[in-house]
Amino acid sequence: MRALAMTLALGLGLAGCTGGTTALGPDGKPVPGIYKISSFQENKITYRMLDSVNELRAAAGAGPLELNPQLTAAAATHSRDMHAQNRPWHFGSDGSSPLDRVARTGYSGTMLGENISETFETELETLAAWMQEADTRDVILDPRARNLGFAWFQESNGKLWWTLLTGT
């Protein structure tokens, strides 16, 4: 009887530790939670991305990237503009290309690539998604790259617009 009571108590205790049920979307997959960026996290996100990109590059035999303020400014401008247009694409509302936006910031190097995303996922989940596709993975691992620009815009509903730029 004592063993049964302990087993029941342990089982109830463990049941209380679960996260509950996960909501499923129409595709049967779990619906992602909303990643709300706090003011405390804002200063850490860019460096988490930079460190993660550099770890991936090191594993691929590519040199590390340095954060570049001009590329980051171009990325921030584009993230906000994608939000305003309500669509993820590489052209600005004024018809500008990534090359145009980078040139406007006064970046002295050559822009090599731009990755964008519209999501509710974290920066590291977004990076993982980019690494799954050859064209976006190539932007991240380009051995010619020396600089990184990274920024985002978050809507009040939690949707994130991420932009990553690389350059020489």
Helices (H), the chain: 2-15, 39-59, 69-85, 98-104, 123-132, 134-141
pLDDT at site 26: 65
Look at 18 and 39; give whichever has higher pLDDT.
39
Residue 1 has pLDDT above 50, yes or no: no
CA–chain centroid gap for 118, Å, is 9
Residue 60 has pLDDT above 60, yes or no: yes
pLDDT at site 33: 65
Rounded mean pLDDT of 151-158?
Answer: 92
Residue 59 — very low, low, confident or very high, per pLDDT cuts 50/70/90?
Answer: very high
Residue 2 has pLDDT above 70, yes or no: no
pLDDT digits (tens, 9 = 90+) for 132-153: 999 999 999 999 999 999 999 9
pLDDT at site 5: 39
How many beta carbons lie within 10 A of that of residue 94, not counting itself? Answer: 8
Six token digits for residue 111: 């822009």
pLDDT digits (tens, 9 = 90+) for 69-126: 999 999 999 999 999 888 787 878 788 999 999 999 999 999 999 999 998 889 999 9
Helices (H), 105-163: 123-132, 134-141
Residue 67 has pLDDT above 70, yes or no: yes
pLDDT digits (tens, 9 = 90+) for 3-35: 433 444 444 343 344 343 455 556 776 655 667
